[in-house]
Amino acid sequence: MVSRGELKRFAIGPGARRRRLTVGFVVSALFALLASASRVSAATEEAEQTEALIRQGVQLRGQDQTARALPLFEKAYKLSRTPRTAGQLGLCELELGNYAEAELHLAEALATPNHPWIAKNRTTLKQQLDVARANVGELALTVSPVTAEVLLNDKPSDKALRGVPIHLKKGPVDVEVRAPGYQPVRQTIIIVAGKREERTYALVAEPPPLATVPAAESGPPAIALATGEPPATTGQSDPLRIAAWVTGGGALAALALGTAEAFNAASKRDAFNDHTSVVGGMARPDCTTVSLAPQCKPLKDAYDSALTLSIVGFVAAGALTAASSLLFVLSSSGHVGAAEHAGGTTAFACVPALAGRGLDCSLRF
């Protein structure tokens, strides 16, 4: 008979160890095989989905529905980033006029010339890349502080913070640089195809807030707006009367400015509307506010500036006229007979209302 100790030694002998290693190896191999099969299945499914998206996108482009095809090509590119998906996406973007994006994806596709689809369509892809590059320029920005946020046409741009030249479609681009605690900077830059524009923006810190003066503890302070005390001596001038004449003159100057700029705005408007370009041998008006061309933007800006100055002039004229009238009324006591106002004064003052919000004002004679 075999003792218990002998059975134990038999169980952990070299043969048993080899069997355990063999079983472990077989189990590991099965798991690896299953994982590999799962990956192959997922890759096959991904390739089929990508192919279906490309096929639908090409069909929509053939039906002149390029805008609807764009999201399909974008999804295919994200699902499987290959030279073919990049090329198809670039061709679609080019057809929609997204030249900067088209240049990026067409260049990516042509970077793999040995790919079968790229080799077959290399000539067409190269021609379309040249078209995209003919409509793209570069913008290189240097900003301070380095944490400042850069927006291009109201869209954040991370490339600007890394100092990488940004490829943009030719034409105007609105640049905004901002950071907490700093005054923002805004500028419109004209991008020229094939050229690089370089700009440096150093933001200026915002000024500290003005210190407030605490109110006196003895009571609410009176806000004296104007007083009409008679002159201390016969030859002394009335300050309110002088201020009234000054504001009246300012009203006339503001009215003249508003009138002049109104005529100037009308002239700039006519220049904008009459601007033409030669198309097919015929001069045609080319300035509209729907799609503002680069050559029309200075005319539009000149018109906007003149119109703004005209409005400011008329508004200022009205405000100064009202102020001048009030000053003449308040200073009238200094130009009436001295016997009528002997020992008396005229005052207009306001104090904070105790019963609610606002001011209590009174005119005393």
Domain boundaries, the chain: 4-132, 136-205, 223-364
- Contact by Cβ (8 Å): 167, 100: yes
pLDDT at res. 59: 93
pLDDT at res. 225: 46
Q: For residue 139, list its beta bridge partners.
A: 166, 197
CATH topology match: 4-132 vs 136-205 = no
* Structural element, H or E, at residue 142: strand 136-144
pLDDT at res. 118: 95
pLDDT at res. 276: 75
pLDDT at res. 233: 45
CATH for the stretch 4-132: 1.25.40.10
pLDDT at res. 180: 94
pLDDT at res. 191: 94
pLDDT at res. 69: 93
- Does pTM surpass 0.85? no
Q: What gap in Å lies between CA 138 and CA 166, rounded to an integer?
A: 5
Residue the block writes with tokens 């700029």: 261
Q: What is the mean pLDDT of each run of 10 residues along the chain (365 residues)?
A: 48 61 65 58 79 93 93 93 94 94 94 94 95 93 90 83 82 94 95 92 89 54 46 57 84 88 86 71 68 77 87 87 83 51 48 51 52
Q: What gap in Å lies between CA 94 and CA 125, rounded to an integer?
A: 11
Residue the block writes with tokens 């308040």: 330
Q: Tell me the fold of 136-205.
A: Immunoglobulin-like (2.60.40)
